[in-house]
Chains A and B, each alone.
Chain A
Amino acid sequence: MSIKVYTQEENVNAELHSPEGVMVTEVSAGDDIEAKMHVKNLKAWFRQKQVLNGFDFKVATNKITAIIGPSGCGKSTLIRCMNRMHELTPGARMEGGVFLDGIDIYKEDSVEMRSRIGMVFQTPNPFPTMSVVDNAISGIKLRGRGKSDGKKIGKDELMGIGEEVLNMAGLWDEVKDDINKSGAALSGGQQQRLCIARALAVEPEVLLMDEPCSALDPASTLKIEELMQELKKDYTIVVVTHNMQQAARVSDYTAFLYMGELIEYQKTSVIFENPEKELTERYITGRFG
């Protein structure tokens, strides 16, 4: 698969001013990506401060896309725009479009869109008042247990789903003897896998993960990386990470974000072996700033 690199003239966003001192050539991963999500000319602000400067970004179906970049460059803001969490922050604002299977998620019901685009946060955040299973199935209950045919999901079926998603997250064997204890009583790594299980239970199509392993030890990190490989068969995954090795290990595509600009977006192997931009190379080799 070849990646088409837009030149400044061709690019629809060419009129965008670049941050001072940074040479920006807009780059977009190729049109031949089969896009599950398509971010178009996305700009985002916190009050007066612009943090995303307007770029296009496609997320490939059933692939893992990594987003890398220095702290504060807008990675979290980008993925929070992708499931309408950004708008919940007081003073936050955005422009541009985010499309899921071609539909503009900002023209649809936000609650519905968030359940189709799941999210796992940097710090594990299971509900402390709920047991492990209840955490796993909390999303279904929070959405009212309704099925598409208008029927309610029964209790046994719920438990079945709980076991299934805990299994998918590789957690069932570890917790099956005390699924009734509080979700907050698990280890950090187990809590994070519980959060993944919880996100899976609502059957999203896309899973956005914001530094899911940054609070975890190497063993738990490895488990989650294996889980991601497993999950990409059925889900489209976007993962923000500070860990270059992790991006190189797990992802198919990598986007390098710097000061609100998408500097380079390529196949992961290309980014790490033969990056187009000097900035990218300096960042991934650690010779930065």
Chain B
Amino acid sequence: MNLRTRRAKDKVMKSLTLVAFLVAIVPLFYVIGTVISKGLVALNWQALGELPPLGFRNAIIGTFIILAVTWLIALPVGIMSGVYIAEYRGIFARAMSFLADVMSGVPSIIAGIVSYVVVVATTRAFGLAGSVALSILMLPVVIRSTEEALKSVPNSLREASTALGAPKWRTTAIALNTAKGSIATGVLLSSARVMGETAPLIMTAGYSQWEFMGMDCRVNSLAYVVYEFLRYPDKERIALGWSAALILIIIILAINIGVRILTRRKYEY
């Protein structure tokens, strides 16, 4: 094979990968472009500041409240499970790790139904049920990212701590502190993902046109407003639905960019 044909082949390969890349990003830009162009139509202070049907203020607030309660449930349980798996090992830990993997395959609608059966059917706490459903989706990610982050902490740091006469739990705290950047990354990325989930909320937090009234009531959310308004027959509601979608995408993008900045800082020292 001479130099000419080799160079030609290199060029063909390079063009092919470039084409594939373009094919992959076209839908991405199409989605973002559509959401921006349709979302900007009705996006104004009224949309952000009023309650439905004129705006979706309660959905913005509700999205963050649902997420906050999801964190309250999923972070302690998830981080501690991850610590157990990574720091204590053993058969039980391996079984837990396997269960987390299985759990990450649970379809989001199933998480919603389970939460409905367990929480709504017993206590009628719709908002809380929404957070529980999202926790089911978030838990495996938090467990796995905590586990991976801790496993990437060099053992020499644990030895240093142990040799100084630190009890096991303080040594674990040192490892956790060293791994906190990666754990935060996992938490934020999974938060961004569950924020956009609608299916788990259908039977749980659902839709509300009122101010937030507590986790025992329906709690509106951006994802649900999109789902709700886009099924309305009037143009204004549909346009508002697109605006809610735009806000949701902006929040998720902001989280992703924030994660980028956070992880970049990690390599400085």
CB contact under 8 A between A202 and B160, given known A128-B269, A129-B178, A142-B170? no
Chain A hits for B164, CB < 8 A: 114-115, 118, 138-139, 142-143, 198-199, 202
Which among B70-78, B151-159, B195-203, B237-245 touches the partner chain? Answer: B151-159
CB contact under 8 A between A129 and B177, given known A111-B165, A182-B269, A198-B164? yes
Chain A hits for B105, CB < 8 A: none
Chain B hits for A182, CB < 8 A: 269
Q: With A and B bound together, what is the CA distance between A111 and B168 in angstroms? A: 9
Q: Is B166's CB under 8 angstroms from A85's CB? A: no
CB contact under 8 A between A114 and B162, given known A127-B174, A142-B170, A142-B174? yes
Query: Which residues of A151-190 are within 8 A (CB) of B?
Result: 181-182, 184-185
Q: Is B162's CB under 8 angstroms from A88's CB? A: yes
Q: Is A139's CB under 8 angstroms from B178's CB? A: no
Among A83, A112, A185, contact of B163 (Cβ-Cβ < 8 Å) = A83
Q: Is B160's CB under 8 angstroms from A121's CB? A: yes
> Is A238 in the interface zone, CB < 8 Å from B?
no
| In the complex, residue of chain A having the shortest beta-carbon distance to the beta carbon of B170 | A142
> Is A123 in the interface zone, CB < 8 Å from B?
yes
> C-beta contact mask, A92-120 vs B, less than 8 Å → 1, else 0?
00000000000000000001101110110
Q: Least Cβ distance of B93 to chain A in Å?
A: 13
Chain A hits for B161, CB < 8 A: 127, 138, 142
Q: How large is the interface on A (under 10, 10 to 19, 20 to 34, 35 or more residues)?
A: 20 to 34
Q: Is A142's CB under 8 angstroms from B165's CB? A: yes
Q: Least Cβ distance of B187 to chain A in Å?
A: 18
Query: Which residues of B164-193 are within 8 A (CB) of A?
Result: 164-167, 170-171, 174, 177-178
Q: How large is the interface on B (under 10, 10 to 19, 20 to 34, 35 or more residues)?
A: 10 to 19
Q: Is A142's CB under 8 angstroms from B269's CB? A: no
Q: With A and B bound together, what is the CA distance between A139 and B161 in angstroms? A: 7
Q: With A and B bound together, what is the CA distance between A143 and B165 in angstroms? A: 6
Q: Is B156's CB under 8 angstroms from A121's CB? A: yes
Q: Is A127's CB under 8 angstroms from B159's CB? A: no
Q: Least Cβ distance of A69 to chain B in Å?
A: 22
Q: Is A112's CB under 8 angstroms from B159's CB? A: no
Q: With A and B bound together, what is the CA distance between A115 and B160 in angstroms? A: 11
- Which 5 residue pairs spanning A and B have beta carbons closest together? A115-B165, A142-B166, A139-B164, A119-B163, A125-B156
| A-B pairs with beta carbons under 8 Å apart, 30 shown | A85-B163, A88-B159, A90-B89, A111-B166, A111-B167, A114-B165, A115-B164, A115-B165, A116-B165, A118-B164, A119-B163, A121-B156, A123-B156, A125-B156, A125-B157, A126-B160, A127-B161, A127-B174, A127-B178, A128-B178, A142-B161, A142-B164, A142-B171, A143-B166, A184-B269, A198-B160, A198-B164, A199-B163, A199-B164, A202-B164
Q: Give A residues with C-beta under 8 Å from B.
A: 83, 85, 88, 90, 111-112, 114-116, 118-119, 121, 123, 125-129, 138-139, 142-144, 181-182, 184-185, 195, 198-199, 202
Q: Give B residues with C-beta under 8 Å from A.
A: 89, 154, 156-157, 159-167, 170-171, 174, 177-178, 269
